[in-house]
Amino acid sequence: MKDLKVSPVLLLIAMLAVATAARAADIIGTITLKGTPPAEGDLSSYMKDYADCTAMYGDKLPTTHFFVVGPKGEFADVVVSLKGMSGKSTGASAPPAVLDQKGCIYTPQIFAVQTGQKLAVKNSDHCIHNVHCTPAVAGNDEHNDAQMSGGADLTYTFAKPEMFIKFECNVHPWMRAWVCVFDHPYFSVSDKDGKFVIKNVPPGKYTVEAGHRKLGSQTQDVEVKDSDTTVNFTFEVK
Amino acid sequence: MNANAQNDNPWLHRFIVLTAAATFLLLGSGGMVTSHEAGMSVPDWPNTYGYNMFLFPVSKWMGGIFYEHTHRLLASGIGFLTTMLAVWLWFKDARKGMRWLGVLAFVLVALQGVLGGLRVTLHMDKLGIVHGALAQLFFVLICALALFTSRWWQNQGRAGSPQPAVGAHGVTRPTDKSLRTLVLAATILIFGQLILGATMRHQHAGLAIPDFPLAYGKIWPDTGAFAVARYNADRIEVISENPITLFQIILQMAHRIVALAIFIGVAACAQQAWRRLGRKDPLTRLAVFWLALIVAQIILGAWTIWSNKAADVATAHVLVGALSLVTGALWFVAAFHRLEPLPRIEPAGTIPGAFGAHPALAANK
């Protein structure tokens, strides 16, 4: 048998191929809404007696924003994640998520964190709030804490995955926010342009799930290779 | 209870009436707390945002805090009144049963206070249902105490007492067991309905069915999974934003059906009282009043739905429910306490009454 000599060039190409195959990529996409959603609820009749809440709005008090839709159907506040992933949480080392109370409205209204990730709740208002979260999954604790104006941030963590845990203020009963808790870092919430990015997904086959709090969820199977993978979702109001 | 004991104590009676009226206000206050979803707006107990409850600055009584905090203050007042009532009964009412009823009232009001506090500190919404149901029973007890200390009650069975109102046939009639049983059954049904209503209100999901008299446009709503998902997608609730579930839809349908059963039951009570006791009998009038309350309650229930659960309408619905329960309970208790019929003096040549010879009449022959 002749000695097998490996060309350095071939070796370099092979190494590059292996390195490329192992590089993580992003899953990106756009969420759109078809149909006409129900009209948002008017908060003015509830807020009008609270000067501390209404000062920043002038004459135009806010409404609910359960369906945040752009002019071309761009659908915000849809939580997109990789289905079936678990035990990969990096929450303990992740920077804290922030939920603010401003103008007696929670901001953001829909957001997502990992298990073990700190969630800091701020009170940027000139009034008292109580911060009341009501998880349903055992292992995630219910909390109800007073937060004075300018008071210290309240911090919470959730130990178990759960979708749409409600945060509310019972002093101002229209205040609502919802947090989705994942056991991994592969999730995103669509922005006002309907766009989402799930970063650094290792190559492989996955089921991507897009969930809206009012319209349920839908899934698509994708294969992530060495470049960004695009998957779009369309929700419909019937 | 020995109705013949000399227990004329008009000031005690007035005090108990005052306590009953204040309790009714407290029921309304508690109703407003739930109607405004304010039950958890004060996270601590017995303090209020770290202050002693009685020293919490009025400037901070805002939003949900106003409803919850005033409810706690009113409840403290009721606790004080009930304590005085229990002590007064113990030392001034000769009837042993009354003393222990006073103790029971004290125990119940203390238990109510603890239940209300634990509901907040333990985050147990189900305790709110127990708290609401027990409040109704406490109200019945206080109203019964008012009845037992009333001059009417004292005079029943006392020799030489004023004559009670006569019935249609010229004599008072005892309430027979079947009528009392009917009233008791309707009263128990009302209490069951109150528990159903409290369970509905503590779901914090707004209106599980947004229309009346139909349910999602049908006599019986579509309860399939897709239908329930569509209901949730279509609704925009400002303050009660838990998702609607199948259980809640069934609960509201049960509430509607039981309301119909209550209407039929109380109407039957009024009709039977009219027929058996006569239209002028006070118990007949009370039964007719009871029926009017039920009709008002049904209207308020419908209005609660049509107004998308407006807080004042929903709370009025709670209060009329409480009055309905008390009316049935007091009717039942008063019926036992009725005087035996008076001897009837038959004019010469008249035909005996429709009910034939009465034992008292036989004894007078």
A172–B65 CB contact, under 8 Å: no
Query: Among residues of chain A, what percentage have pLDDT more than 90?
Result: 80
Question: pLDDT digit string (tens) for B218-233?
Answer: 999 999 999 999 999 9
Q: Supply the ipTM of this predicted assembly.
A: 0.84
Within an 8 Å CB–CB cutoff, is residue B58 touching chain A? no
Within an 8 Å CB–CB cutoff, is residue A172 touching chain B? yes
- DSSP sequence for B199-251: HHHTT--S-SS--SSSBTTBSS---SHHHHHHHHHH---SS--SPP-HHHHHH
* The dihedral sign for the CA sequence B200, B205, B207, B208: negative
pLDDT at A176: 95
> A216-220, A225-229, B260-264 — which is least confidently predicted?
A225-229
Average confidence score pLDDT of chain A: 91
> Which of A123, A170, A235, A236 is the mutation pick for testing B, counting most B CBs within 10 A?
A170
Within an 8 Å CB–CB cutoff, is residue B37 touching chain A? yes
A38–B234 CB contact, under 8 Å: yes
Whether CATH 2.102.10.10 fits A91-185: no
Within an 8 Å CB–CB cutoff, is residue A50 touching chain B? yes
B331 and B287 in contact (C-beta within 8 Å)? yes
Q: Hey, what are B251's tokens?
A: 């609960």
Is A171 a residue whose pLDDT tops 60?
Answer: yes
pLDDT at B46: 96
CATH no. of A25-85+186-238: 2.60.40.4130
> Which of B239, B309, B312 is the mutation pick for testing A, counting most A CBs within 10 A?
B239
Is B197 a residue whose pLDDT tops 50?
Answer: yes
Residue that has been written with the tokens 């009392």 in this structure? B180
B38 vs A170, A215, A237: nearest CB: A170
Using a CB-CB distance cutoff of 8 angstroms, which residues of chain B are in contact with residue A128?
49, 60, 62, 65
A146–B49 CB contact, under 8 Å: yes
Residue that has been written with the tokens 């009024």 in this structure? B270
Sheet holding A204-212, edge to edge: A187-189, A79-83, A204-212, A216-224
Within an 8 Å CB–CB cutoff, is residue A166 touching chain B? yes
Is B244 a residue whose pLDDT tops 50?
Answer: yes
pLDDT at B297: 98
B338 and B281 in contact (C-beta within 8 Å)? no
Within an 8 Å CB–CB cutoff, is residue A170 touching chain B? yes
Query: Among residues of chain B, what percentage have pLDDT more than 70?
Result: 86
pLDDT class for A1, splitting at 50, 70, 90?
very low
CA distance linking residue A114 with residue A177, whole number of Å = 16
Using a CB-CB distance cutoff of 8 angstroms, which residues of chain A are in contact with residue B62?
50, 52, 127-128, 171
A128 vs B40, B49, B241: nearest CB: B49
pLDDT class for B359, splitting at 50, 70, 90?
very low
Is B276 a residue whose pLDDT tops 50?
Answer: yes
Nearest by Cα to B27 from B339, B314, B362, B330:
B314
* Number of CB atoms found within 10 A of residue B56's CB: 19
What residues does each domain of chain A span?
25-85+186-238, 91-185
A142–B234 CB contact, under 8 Å: no
Smallest CA–CA distance from A64 into chain B, residue: B238
B193 and B283 in contact (C-beta within 8 Å)? no
Mean pLDDT of A92-116: 96
Hey, is A187 helix, strand or coil? strand
Nearest by Cα to B112 from B75, B158, B67:
B75
DSSP E strands: which ranges in chain A?
Answer: 25-34, 79-83, 97-102, 105-107, 110-114, 119-123, 129-134, 143-147, 154-156, 162-168, 176-182, 187-189, 195-201, 204-212, 216-224, 229-230, 233-236
pLDDT class for B352, splitting at 50, 70, 90?
very low
pLDDT at A3: 52
- Side-chain half-sphere CA neighbours of B296 within 13 A: 16
Q: Can the peptide bond before residue B46 be classed as cis, meaning omega within 30 degrees of 0?
A: yes
pLDDT at B319: 98
pLDDT at A133: 97
Using a CB-CB distance cutoff of 8 angstroms, which residues of chain A are in contact with residue B225?
none
Residue type, B199: T
B41–A171 CB contact, under 8 Å: yes
B233–A237 CB contact, under 8 Å: yes
Smallest CA–CA distance from A237 into chain B, residue: B233
Using a CB-CB distance cutoff of 8 angstroms, which residues of chain A are in contact with residue B123?
134, 142, 144
pLDDT at B348: 52
Residues 6+ apart with CB under 8 A from A172: A46, A47, A50, A53, A104, A129, B63, B64
B310 and B304 in contact (C-beta within 8 Å)? yes
Is B49 a residue whose pLDDT tops 50?
Answer: yes
Hey, is A167 helix, strand or coil? strand
Which letter does DSSP use for residue B57 in this model?
Answer: -
* Number of CB atoms found within 10 A of residue B103's CB: 14
B63 vs A64, A171, A216: nearest CB: A171
A46 vs B68, B236, B239: nearest CB: B239
Within an 8 Å CB–CB cutoff, is residue B46 touching chain A? no
pLDDT at B211: 96
Question: pLDDT digit string (tens) for B109-165?
Answer: 999 999 999 999 999 989 999 999 999 999 999 999 999 999 988 887 554 444 444
Q: Hey, what are B188's tokens?
A: 């128990």
Is B278 a residue whose pLDDT tops 90?
Answer: yes
For the whole model, what pTM was predicted? 0.86
pLDDT at A14: 62
pLDDT class for B8, splitting at 50, 70, 90?
confident
Is B12 a residue whose pLDDT tops 60?
Answer: yes
Mean pLDDT of B16-30: 98
Question: pLDDT digit string (tens) for A21-65?
Answer: 456 899 999 999 999 999 999 998 888 888 888 888 888 899 999
Is B167 a residue whose pLDDT tops 50?
Answer: no
Within an 8 Å CB–CB cutoff, is residue A216 touching chain B? yes
Hey, is B275 helix, strand or coil? helix
Query: Among residues of chain B, what percentage have pLDDT more than 90?
Result: 78
CA distance linking residue B187 with residue B190, whole number of Å = 5
Mean pLDDT of A171-192: 97
Is B346 a residue whose pLDDT tops 60?
Answer: no
Decide if A25-85+186-238 and A91-185 have a common fold: yes
pLDDT at A17: 55
Question: pLDDT digit string (tens) for B279-304?
Answer: 999 999 999 999 999 999 999 999 99
